[in-house]
Amino acid sequence: MRLSVLLPLPLGPLSYLAPEGCARAPAPGLRVAVPFRKGVRVGVVVGVEDAAEGDFALRHAIGYLDEEPFLDEAGIAFLGRAAAHYFTPAGQLLADLVPFLEPPLRHEVRLVDGAARPDLTGLTLWRDAAELDPALLDELREGGVLEERVREQKPTRKTLVPLREPTEKLTPKQQAALETLRALGEAESQTALAAAAGVGPGVVRALVEKGYAGWREVELELAPPAPAGPALEPLPVPEPPPRINGGRWAERLQLAAGLASEGETLVLFPERYVLERAYDRWPPPALPFHGGQSPELRRALWREKPPVVLGSYQALLMPRRWRRIVVMDEGSDSYKLASGSRAHAVHLAELRAELLGAELYYLSLTPAVEVVEKPGLLVRPPRTRVLPIDLRRERGWPLSGRAVELLAQVPEKGRQALVLVARRGYSGRLFCKSCDWQPICPNCDLPLRFHKPGRRGRLVCHQCGHSEPAPEVCPACGGEVFGYSGPGVQWVAEEIQRRLPELPVYQYSAERKDDLTPLQRGEPGAVVGTTALLRTPAPPELALILLPYAEGFLPASDFRAPERYHRLLWQLADLHPTRSPLIALQTFEPDHPAVEALIEGDVTGVPETELVLRRMLGYPPAVRMVVLEFSHRQEATARAAAMDAAEFLQKRLGDYLETAPFAPLLGPAPAPVPRIRGRYVFHLILRAPEPDLLRDWLSDLPPPKGARLRLDPDPVGFVGLLED
DNA sequence: AGCACGCCGACT
DNA sequence: GTCGGCGTGCTC
């Protein structure tokens, strides 16, 4: 028999012969250990055929790891379909979705009976394969004289257990300690037992030395923590439409629980923090499943069959016949996988549902543009109180007089404020006031951000991490006066503290996470931070949310920016579980549609108009769009590779160029950030309303000369992957 | 992805 | 003369 084995590597399936001397029939979906290069890797059987004449001698697989298939047939089919859609090998997708696939292995070998290897007499008994030279193992395997067995090493822990009955030989204290151990069954450590029995540590040590108690390796029983909060009441909807919007967070959870109440439901979450908060309130029984859990725990939970799983994208391949998949907050950027296949988890969920024949639901405060046309149900959105502060009229930067007044009221009333800034550090830009010089990252062609932890401060690249001390005088003209623009967390926090010295001010961003427990306890204060703040629980007395520069959240080069801005603003309205804090927006665009929608309490209008615009301009979802990224250390090499590809595609597209509703080929052009980490990047964009066309064009594309080509098959914002 | 192989520049 | 940079190709 010949196996097609998918390894969690960016490769297609590899062929192996079925394990030698293994009675088990191979079945698709089983995990199998295989020799790969000089070692052993674990993959999944995705196909079984009769052995045929091969171009080369196949190696034998070593053995299966599972009783029950790790993946089901629908999951295997899904991997193939998704791989084709994302122009990536199926193994890449397997690696992305199941990074915990490979367990630690117990791998033993010995020579088969009668093997004529007098030089290896030590190998007639089972030996741990790790003790032997991989080259020797390979040679023996080739020669067909090696017997192997392999299994998943279960996670264990050491525990102190009683080994014998107490006898008269023990002192009274030793007897008491042993009785305690027998009553408890086991103890974590000698000290723990001593404490439990009320004796000194020496007594327990004596028990162990005399052999009355001893250490035993026991299997680690793995379980997620119990939900931490009171369970919410499910809110079932009769004949629910595929899209449900509006409501408060807890209300949407109730609706999700209602959708899941018939069981066999996967509830998909964009990020771990949201998932954990939902799990804490979810009516049992349900299990969480996400990348924050240990690989051992995820492997253990993989086999569980709870009626409901609250999962991240890593739960998508679980061997379950879901009847429903509920996608929470489908518009979240976090669904986009930032590396590897760069797939989009919402799309993967759609594909999985399609192949399973499962019902799919989208449940969010504001719908994504991609789903806004589906039949929907609107629950009343949270009440909003919005105060736009027009920066074209108000004085004061980065804090207007109005903003300071609002902030001043916060401690007076014993309330709390949240100040949201798009940048971390002190300022987005630093420049010389006399000659306009500004520092650029030596690796990235991006302005260096100014951070101000000390007197002088540092210049930091938010792309590659490059950091240098800020200059004291301008290196270009010797000027000594610097200007700043693009206020960051530090600047705003400093300014608030300067204007309101009595107000306790906290900072919260990736680089500085102040302890917010005083706020959580209800003490007055203000916290200034980036969107990292949205992943902490809202302070209980939250009365004001201030955005000193709201457009900071609206990157101009991204066609999804208005949708994301709208989603962010609504997220603010839903931050506090019950209150409606005042949302004060300092902005040059107080009549931006997203701001108006927030004022009017409209959650679907902006996505609806965005959809119309995208159709007019030929952006997703009206077209499928793929970005080709050519990069190289030498600018000319990267550009030439992009030009070659453009030329090829120009010819390949032929007549389609004339008939296409939108220009199907854009570029090449330098990427929005022309150089990252020392590599020049050029972009070429392909788009067509018919996704199959793109696949044809790209399948013919010759590999680039010199430069590296990476595809972004689902560009969620061209600068969206840049951190800021 | 990792890893080996292979080809050109800066060092003992 | 070698060390080591990374560009290229392959993994059953």
Q: What tokens does A169 get?
A: 């030989």
CA A301 to C1' C9 (Å) is: 39
Judge if the beta carbon of A633 is closer than 7 A to nucleic acid strand C. yes
- Say yes or no: Cβ of A9 under 7 A from any atom of strand B: yes
Asked if the A624-713 domain carries CATH number 3.30.70.600, the reply is yes
Q: Which two tokens stand for residue A263?
A: 């069981």
Around Cβ A526, how many Cβ atoms within 10 Å? 25
Whether A35 sits with its Cβ under 7 A from any strand C atom: the answer reads: yes
**What pLDDT sits at residue A721?**
31
Cβ contact A15 with chain C strand, < 7 A? yes
Placement of tokens 């600047």 in the chain: A491
Structural contact between residues A156 and A220, judged by C-beta atoms closer than 8 angstroms: yes
Task: Examine the pLDDT at A718 and tell me if it is beyond 70.
Answer: no
Is A22 annotated as a binding-site member? no
Per the structure, the residue whose CA is closest to nucleotide B4 at C1' is A37
Smallest Cα–Cα separation from A379: which of A363, A394, A395, A393?
Answer: A363
Protein-to-nucleotide distance from the CA of A609 to the C1' of C8, whole angstroms: 49
For residue A504, say whether its CB is under 7 Å from any atom of strand B: no
HEC-encoded secondary structure of A300-330: HHHCCCCCEEEECHHHCCCCCCCCEEEEECC
Strand order in the sheet with A324-328: A287-289, A308-311, A265-268, A324-328, A359-364, A243-246, A376-379
What homologous superfamily does CATH list for A2-152?
Answer: PriA, 3(prime) DNA-binding domain (3.40.1440.60)
Which residues contact residue A415 at a Cβ distance below 8 angstroms, ignoring those fewer than 6 apart?
A: A409, A524, A541, A542, A543, A544
Strand C lies under 7 A from the Cβ of residue A36: yes
Residue A217 and residue A270 in contact, taking contact as beta carbons nearer than 8 Å: no
Q: Return the DSSP state at A673.
A: E
The answer to whether A706 CB sits below 7 Å from nucleic acid chain B is no
Q: Can you tell me the distance from the alpha carbon of A528 to that of A34, in angstroms, rounded to the nearest whole number? A: 52
Within A105-236, strands assigned E span 105-111, 127-128, 146-152, 156-162, 213-219
Rounded, the Å distance between the CA of A138 and C1' of C4 is: 31
Do the first three CATH levels of A2-152 and A243-379 match, i.e. the same topology? no
Give the residue among A568, A572, A571, A576 at the shortest CA–CA distance from A520: A576
Give pLDDT tens digits for A497-511. Answer: 999 999 999 999 988
Say what the pLDDT of residue A116 is: 77
Please choose, from the candidates A448, A409, A455, A407, the residue with its C-alpha nearest in 3D space to the C-alpha of residue A429: A448
Cα dihedral sign, A598-A600-A601-A604: negative
* A493 pLDDT more than 90: yes
Kindly indicate the confidence band of residue A135, based on its pLDDT and cuts at 50, 70 and 90.
Answer: confident
pLDDT score, position A722: 32
Task: State whether residue A22 is helix, strand or coil.
Answer: coil
Give the CA-to-C1' distance from A704 to C8 in angstroms: 12
User: What are the residues whose beta carbons fall under 8 Å from the beta carbon of A57, sequence distance 6 or more?
Assistant: none
Tell me the average pLDDT of chain A: 91
CA of A228 to C1' of B11 (A): 63
CA distance linking residue A477 with residue A474, whole number of Å: 6
Q: What number does CATH give the domain A243-379?
A: 3.40.50.300
| Rounded-to-integer distance, Cα A344 and Cα A715, Å | 9
Check whether residue A10 has its CB closer than 7 Å to nucleic acid strand B: yes
Q: Which amino acid is at A87?
A: F
- A37 CB inside 7 Å of strand C: yes
> Which residue matches tokens 């595809």?
A711
φ, ψ of residue A610 in degrees (nearest 5) = -60, -40
CA atom of A133 to C1′ atom of C4, Å: 28
CATH number belonging to domain A385-610? 3.40.50
Sheet bearing A416-420, strands edge to edge: A385-390, A582-587, A542-547, A416-420, A525-529, A505-508
Our measurement of CA A701 to C1' C4, in angstroms, reads 34
The one-letter code for the residue type at A567 is R
Nucleotides of C strand lying within 7 Å of any protein CB atom? 7-8, 11-12
Q: Give the CA-to-C1' distance from A82 to C11 in angstroms.
A: 22
Minimum-distance nucleotide, CA of A15 to C1': C12
Distance CA A673, CA A572 (A): 30
How would you classify residue A179: left for phi > 0, otherwise alpha for psi between -120 and 50, otherwise beta?
alpha
Nucleotide nearest to A710 (CA to C1'): B1
By mean pLDDT, which of A261-265, A530-534, A544-548, A674-678 is the weakest?
A: A674-678
User: Would you kindly state where each structural domain of chain A is located, as residue ranges?
Assistant: 2-152, 156-219, 243-379, 385-610, 624-713
For chain A, what percent of residues have pLDDT higher than 70? 98
Q: What is the arithmetic mean of pLDDT over A319-328?
A: 98
The per-residue pLDDT for range A550-588, each reduced to its tens digit, is 999 988 778 899 999 999 999 999 999 999 999 999 999
Residues near A390 by beta carbon (within 8 Å), at least 6 away in sequence: A587, A588, A590
Q: How is residue A451 written in tokens?
A: 């951070």
User: Which nucleotide C1' is nearest A56 CA?
Assistant: C12
On chain B, which bases lie within 7 A of the protein's CB atoms?
1, 3-4
Whole-model pTM: value is: 0.91
How would you classify the pairing of strands A265-268 and A324-328? parallel
Asked whether residue A65 carries a pLDDT value surpassing 70, the answer given is: yes
